[in-house]
Structure 1
Amino acid sequence: MFQGSMVALVTPMREDGSVDENSLRNLVDWHVEQGTDAIVAVGTTGESATLDEQEHCEVIRQVVEFAAKRLPVVAGTGANSTTEAIQLTRCAKQAGADGCLLVTPYYNKPTQEGLYRHFKAVAEAVDIPQLLYNVPGRTACDMLPETVGRLAVIANIVGIKEATGDLSRVALLRELCGEEFALITGDDASSREFILAGGVGTISVTANIAPAAMQRMIAAARRGDVAEAARIDAPLAGLHRDLFLESNPIPVKWALAEMGRIPKGIRLPLTWFAEPYRAQLRQSMVNAGLI
């Protein structure tokens, strides 16, 4: 279930910041048509940090409804409070999500033992498949492979989104966690190499605007077709870079608006993509054949 090209879906918003349900439905339909392997709803790219708990649960419910079992839906339910993470994970289970993605607690910088106990508590509280999410560049907290190995023995902790970009971790995680544990990258720029090194998928920002190409590239890498994966990935390289010219999801929401797929809406403290960067990202979109 947790493999292939999984899109870290944006949450479409109107210019007043309200969630645009029609655009969300259309995005889900588009990803089904384009062959995306799974949708991750309300993660970092989905602006989880600025949706309140009711909105968070409602967007998960809507994505599950719109997907209608045509592809798996993974709900972002992490928090820096263990109690809140449990509440959001329960919401996701009730909504019918296929699994949950839980980021390491951010800002409060727990120890490795604290991380172990946090994720163990969520897994024991809610019987749903769960993916760990390690992204120290955002959280100021790096969950070490040894801690992941401790958690991998818990039955419903089934994989990790490893977003450090450190390819040397793939082999170590596989050794510590076993063959059935899903190793998924969260770094678009190194996703091809991650898969070729033994990973099974990506949770991708680039897939928001180039879903078919990302799906084909990841599929080629998974079957070990090095040349074909590189050929497909080459025109995407600019997107992997330029979708992070400002903090995600600022650039990708602008790109989707340029493609006419969502309105120009984002919530403070994030702001609309700055004009000086737009020509560079637009050129990368042209190079990828998107516009």
Structure 2
Amino acid sequence: MRFEGIYTPIITPFASNGQIDWDVYAEVIDWQIENGVAGIIVGGSTGEFYALSKEERIQQFKFASERINNRVEFMAGVNDIRADECIDISMAAVDAGAKSLLVAAPPYSLPSEEELAYHVLAIAKTTELPIMLYNYPGRTGVEMGEDFLSIVAKNPLIAAIKESSGDYSRLPLLSNNYPSIELAVGGEEQVLEFAAWGAKSWVCATANFFPSECVQVMDILGKQSDFNKGRKLMAAFMPLMKALEQGGKFLQCVKFGCEMQGRPGGNVRLPLLPMDDSLKQEMTIIIENTRKSLNSILN
């Protein structure tokens, strides 16, 4: 098993002037490690990579690698709209000390499955790092389908897939037909279903503000296979997961969740806009109720 436990795609905290707040970024990293996550993902969509300059992204890799200091795994998100930029960002991650990569399809270009396989394998050949695929057709416009998987599964560096399509039929397909590619939870509200099909890792945005709780949930489901307790925990989580995944303000809600836990989150960058007061009030109630429900089950 290459990936096991919680891999948090950490937020990027911005100061009031809109620049990355590096002191707070260090706190974000340390708090995740203190709460037992297995890995930290730098440069994921939860980190607003698309709103950062190339220089900022590379600086993040270097800073995070030094701060993590091999205490947990450093995974780098390396997607970009241009294929050559993907390679450049990937090599910058290697140079910074990343131990693995999270790779999605380049958005907008809509490559065929064969073309996408060529792209992913080019990154694998160039970096020689284990890759977790990121299947999210809702963002990229293309799916990592069976033709694609049949090609890339032959490469041992293609180690896992974060499945974020929302299509439950993909879970048995991936588990049964592509056993060399580990299944990683890619939908916040689908952890129970993923675990039933063998997932041992969760790329978990919720861990930005509930890290310890998410670590315990994945341990209960992934290691202990305690699905009775797991169902209770996921029932407690579901109102929050629904608000995150279906509310249309995912990043704003994640950062607000950090603020609710006494962890600085900061604003989102354009084109996203801050939450309005009504959503803040709604999320305050949901997060407080979730915290209480989880504590009653876990403690």
Residue 281 of structure 1 aligns with which residue? 283
CA offset digits 1:178-227 (Å, max 9, x no partner): 2x422112100001211122222111111111111111111111121101
- CA drift of 1:96 comes to 0.6
Q: Distance in 2 between matches of 1:68 and 1:278?
A: 35
- CA drift of 1:263 comes to 4.7
Q: Distance in 2 between matches of 1:44 and 1:110?
A: 20
Q: Distance in 2 between matches of 1:191 and 1:50?
A: 28
Q: Give, as a single letter, the amino acid of the residue that structure 2 aligns with 1:219.
A: D
- CA drift of 1:250 comes to 1.7
Residue 289 of structure 1 aligns to a residue whose secondary structure is: helix
Residue 10 of structure 1 aligns to a residue whose secondary structure is: coil
Residue 40 of structure 2 aligns with which residue? 39
Residue 266 of structure 2 aligns with which residue? 264
Residue 229 of structure 1 aligns with which residue? 230
Is the CA contact 1:9–1:205 (under 8 Å) kept in the aligned structure 2? yes
Q: TM-score, normalised by structure 1?
A: 0.94
Q: Give, as a single letter, the amino acid of the residue that structure 2 aligns with 1:5.
A: I
Q: TM-score, normalised by structure 2?
A: 0.92
- CA drift of 1:100 comes to 0.7
Q: Distance in 2 between matches of 1:288 and 1:36?
A: 20
Is the CA contact 2:133–2:160 (under 8 Å) kept in the aligned structure 1? yes
Is the CA contact 2:114–2:147 (under 8 Å) kept in the aligned structure 1? no
Aligned ranges 1:169-248 → 2 under 5 Å: 169-178=170-179, 180-222=180-222, 223-244=224-245, 245-248=247-250
Q: Distance in 1 between matches of 2:217 and 2:59?
A: 32
Counterparts in 2 of 1:30 and 1:102: CA distance versus 1, 3 Å: same
Residue 88 of structure 1 aligns with which residue? 89
CA offset digits 1:239-286 (Å, max 9, x no partner): 211224233312111221233311532211111122221122111111
- CA drift of 1:97 comes to 0.9
Residue 133 of structure 2 aligns to a residue whose secondary structure is: strand
Is the CA contact 1:86–1:125 (under 8 Å) kept in the aligned structure 2? yes
- CA drift of 1:167 comes to 2.5
Residue 13 of structure 1 aligns to a residue whose secondary structure is: coil
Residue 158 of structure 1 aligns to a residue whose secondary structure is: strand
Q: Give, as a single letter, the amino acid of the residue that structure 1 aligns with 2:22.
A: E
Residue 101 of structure 1 aligns to a residue whose secondary structure is: strand
Q: Distance in 1 between matches of 2:286 and 2:101?
A: 32
Identity rate, percent: 27
Residue 166 of structure 1 aligns to a residue whose secondary structure is: coil
Residue 46 of structure 2 aligns to a residue whose secondary structure is: coil
Root-mean-square deviation (Å) = 1.7
Residue 20 of structure 1 aligns with which residue? 21
Aligned ranges 1:115-130 → 2 under 5 Å: 115-130=116-131
Q: Give, as a single letter, the amino acid of the residue that structure 2 aligns with 1:275.
A: D
Counterparts in 2 of 1:15 and 1:86: CA distance versus 1, 3 Å: same
Structure 1 unaligned residues grouped into runs of 5+:
none
Q: Distance in 2 between matches of 1:263 and 1:287?
A: 20
